[in-house]
Amino acid sequence: MPLIISKYMSKLINNSNFKEDNSHNKKAYEFIDKHLPVTYVDLTISCIIKKGHPAPSKALIRNVRNKTILRNDILLALVEVAHENKEAIEKIKLLTSQ
């Protein structure tokens, strides 16, 4: 039975209809590539829960991050986490440069 489940799971991932040709998605991934912290998974879950949505699995978040699956709601949360991280780094730089 596990062989059947894994077969279907791999089919889902391989048949993903991810399209990177959307310029807004491409820009979003460029932004998170630069600014997403290493601890992004838990931060992304917290961001999604704050909006009142159910928490996605950690694997789903990683799949969106790795462009295996496209979910705009999770991509948006990833961008928001990256933005918060970028602002925190800029604030640290500002405060420590004085």
Summarised one tens digit per residue, pLDDT across range 28-53 is 999 999 999 999 999 999 999 999 99
Contacts 24+ apart (CB under 8 A), 23-28: 25/70, 25/75, 28/75, 28/76, 28/78, 28/79
pLDDT tens per residue, range 71-93: 999 999 999 999 999 999 999 99
pTM assigned to the model: 0.77
DSSP 39-70: THHHHHHHHHHHTTPPPPPHHHHHHHHTTSS-
